[in-house]
Structure 1
Amino acid sequence: MTLNCIAVDDEPLALEQVSKFIEQTPFFKLVGKYSNALHALNAIHTQKIDVVFLDIQMPDLNGIQLARALDKRTNKPHIIFTTAHHQFAIEGYQVDALDYLLKPFNYEEFLRAGNKALHYTELLNRRATPPVISNEPEHTHEHYIFLKVEYQLVRIALDDILYIEGLKDYVKVQLKNTEIPLLSLTSLKALEEKLPAKRFMRVHRSFIISLDKITSMTKSSVHIGKILINVGHQYKDIFSQFIGKWN
């Protein structure tokens, strides 16, 4: 898969550096570089752009304003902010930025953000249509949660969840009867707080499991169907207590 990218920065040296990083990344294609956010906005509206590497402090239209202008687009490109000012980080994530690169950054940091964009795009492309999530009754949160998926809140029946995997800044929710997981830009900890403890358990820093979907288990691992999930060291005591109920 190749992602079409543009670089937007009013500083010539910074613009050239990001453009160079894009060009040396195998799965990226540089289709434009702009020193003016208004010109970049026009390019986004007239071309297929997958990723925008976007400076924040620019004249006429700044990066945050440009990102907000794209919020209503159904095919909104991924935004990766590039800025020398860390105070914009929170505001950046409020406009659904995929990542935030603090200047000066090296190619390793750039590539880490690029891989996130690639992985996120691959997962979204595999989901041809959003799944029909739930017919559960709406009178209690014990039966469902709402999760932000592709810029909309999706209702997910708790009975449909097999397990949840944390991937740094976002999570994959694996549902029964579908091979394609839901992907949401949130943390595993934030999602854990929404789930009823009597039905779900965190067994690893990267995994939450649905207890009633366990098909077999040992003191150090869990099978959910064909999926093997190891129990992390810091979670073994609480998991042992759970196993003890069945011994």
Structure 2
Amino acid sequence: MVKNKIRVLLIDDEPFSRDELRHLLLTYPDFNVIGEAQSAEEALEKIIHLEPDALFLDIEMGDKNGLELACTIQKLKKVPFIVFATAYPDFAVKAFRVDALDYVLKPFDEEQIFDAIKRIRKAFSAEGEQNGKRPYSNEGLGKLAVQEDETIHYIDPKEIDYIYRDGNVTKVISHGKEFVTRYLLKDIEEKLADHSFFRTHKGFIVNLKQVEEMTPWFHGAYQLKLLNVKEEIPVSRHYVKKLRLRLEI
């Protein structure tokens, strides 16, 4: 169970945009979408009543725009962190004048949303420390979010055989099934630092507990055979010595 979840309110007059944001945020188990609003007036009521930690806020909504709402809520005792989510790039300067954490453009890009998430986490943690509360931590959440078609799965690291980069996509292999994740390999390597994983190649990360054999390949490089995995995993010659030290008693 994730403690200190970050409570988010989605504000946009377009249902499709709210649905898309909600879907993207579902991949972050430490975030909880507590409500939605389709107008600035409805949003203000929900902000006062629900006291969210963060807002994903559209700018052009027909009545009162998002910038006006952002100015209004600065008077509240608890001001949520603001990420503007809009189709209009021209408002960026004005947005940051109301202390927005980030500014993401429609159609939403997963990397943009990920960057916004990181900024919210950092601000939420800093606020907790300042108020003497237990700071937010994303450590120990336990599972990696991956996707199969439209379904999001959460995989225990122990169930992962290996992870590799295929063009612009990161793929996770678990029990013979292939999943996709939005993370880059360097992000996954950092997340799995406390687990039994090793970067064998610029394009591969391997669960060391699955390694069965290591055989010479060419020019000092090797290949790994994993338990119950047909594919052999390359080991760059630059990683061989360090890998042997990790594998051997």
Q: TM-score normalised to the size of structure 2?
A: 0.50
Among 9, 12, 18, which residue is 2:12 paired with?
Answer: 9
Q: Deviations over 1:200-222 (max 9, x none)?
A: xxxxxxxxxxxxxxxxxxxxxxx
Q: Which amino acid aligns with 1:105?
A: F
Q: Which amino acid aligns with 2:78?
A: N
User: 1:48 Cα deviation (Å)?
Assistant: 2.3
Q: Deviations over 1:6-56 (max 9, x none)?
A: 111111211110111222211110100121221111000011200100000
Mapped to 2, the partners of 1:64 and 1:77 lie a distance apart of 14
Mapped to 2, the partners of 1:96 and 1:76 lie a distance apart of 10
- Which residue of structure 1 aligns with residue 39 of structure 2? 36
Question: Contact 1:5 / 1:52 at 8 angstroms: preserved in 2?
Answer: yes
Q: Deviations over 1:57-109 (max 9, x none)?
A: 01121100110011112310001001111100001001111110011122221
- Which residue of structure 1 aligns with residue 109 of structure 2? 106
Among 68, 72, 95, which residue is 2:71 paired with?
Answer: 68
Mapped to 1, the partners of 2:51 and 2:74 lie a distance apart of 16
Mapped to 2, the partners of 1:14 and 1:65 lie a distance apart of 20
SS of the residue corresponding to residue 65 of structure 1 reads: helix
Alignment of 1:136-175 (within 5 A): none
Mapped to 1, the partners of 2:46 and 2:12 lie a distance apart of 14
Question: Contact 1:9 / 1:35 at 8 angstroms: preserved in 2?
Answer: yes
- Which residue of structure 2 aligns with residue 58 of structure 1? 61
- Which residue of structure 2 aligns with residue 49 of structure 1? 52
Alignment of 1:233-244 (within 5 A): none
Q: Deviations over 1:146-192 (max 9, x none)?
A: xxxxxxxxxxxxxxxxxxxxxxxxxxxxxxxxxxxxxxxxxxxxxxx
Alignment of 1:220-235 (within 5 A): none
Among 96, 100, 111, which residue is 1:97 paired with?
Answer: 100
- Which residue of structure 1 aligns with residue 84 of structure 2? 81
Instruction: Give unpaired runs (5+ residues) of structure 1.
Output: 130-247
- Which residue of structure 1 aligns with residue 188 of structure 2? none
Mapped to 2, the partners of 1:71 and 1:34 lie a distance apart of 18
Structure exhibiting the larger radius of gyration computed from Cα positions: 2
Mapped to 2, the partners of 1:71 and 1:111 lie a distance apart of 25
Mapped to 1, the partners of 2:79 and 2:86 lie a distance apart of 21
The Cα RMSD (Å) is 1.3
SS of the residue corresponding to residue 90 of structure 1 reads: helix
Q: TM-score normalised to the size of structure 1?
A: 0.50
Mapped to 2, the partners of 1:128 and 1:35 lie a distance apart of 32
SS of the residue corresponding to residue 116 of structure 1 reads: helix
User: 1:2 Cα deviation (Å)?
Assistant: 0.9
Question: Contact 1:19 / 1:33 at 8 angstroms: preserved in 2?
Answer: no
- Which residue of structure 2 aligns with residue 202 of structure 1? none
Identical amino acids, percent of aligned pairs: 33
Q: Deviations over 1:113-159 (max 9, x none)?
A: 01110111101211137xxxxxxxxxxxxxxxxxxxxxxxxxxxxxx
Mapped to 2, the partners of 1:14 and 1:101 lie a distance apart of 12
Mapped to 2, the partners of 1:69 and 1:22 lie a distance apart of 26
Q: Is 1:25 aligned with 2:28?
A: yes
Mapped to 2, the partners of 1:120 and 1:36 lie a distance apart of 26
